[in-house]
Amino acid sequence: MKANQAIWPIVTMARLLEVSASGFYAWIERKPSAHARSDADLLSRIRAIYTRSRETYGMPRIYAELSGQGIHVGRKRVARLMRIAGLRGVSRRRWFSTTQRQPDARPAPDLVQRHFNADAPNQLWVADATYGMPSQHGPPVRG
């Protein structure tokens, strides 16, 4: 409502959203909650650590720095505040690319013509040879 108050009357938006106009005005005047003020303070500390690290630290290192300073806060809270502020750590992990097909290579023929339903057992065999990163939930299931 606040973003559209220059376009639409508050009373009309309140009626359409089924909220009271007086509630909206009370919300505008309300001071930030203790949790919101705490988040703002914590975010300023996170930004300071992030800047000192030359914008390389991610959540784990920032969390460790905060813990080292005696600030007790949860990892998920640090991650949430960093995500909201658009702060991302730099990953030095090297990503491996898979074998890439040559541009002039002829693709394998589609012998089943995209029809993957067999009329009887042992008539149609298909496989998926796509590459993916290993799952974090354990080894892949072999069938």
State the DSSP string of 40-72: HHHHHHHHHHHHHTTS---HHHHHHHHHHTT--
Residues 131, 98 contacting (CB under 8 angstroms): yes
80 has pLDDT over 80: yes
Kindly report whether the global pTM for this prediction surpasses the value 0.85. no
Residues 66, 86 contacting (CB under 8 angstroms): no
Same-domain status, 39 and 77: yes
Same-domain status, 20 and 41: no
Same-domain status, 23 and 43: no
- pLDDT confidence tier of residue 106, bands split at 50, 70 and 90: confident
Same-domain status, 24 and 65: no
Same-domain status, 26 and 39: no
Q: How do residues 59-75 score in pLDDT, each as one tens digit?
A: 999 999 999 999 999 99
Same-domain status, 25 and 56: no
CA torsion sign, 86 to 89 to 94 to 96? negative
Residue with more model confidence, 46 or 3: 46
Task: Output the pLDDT for position 141.
Answer: 53
Same-domain status, 39 and 75: yes
- Say how far apart CA 63 and CA 91 lie, in whole Å: 16
Same-domain status, 62 and 19: no
Give mean pLDDT, residues 1-18. Answer: 88
Host domain of residue 25? 1-30
46 has pLDDT over 80: yes
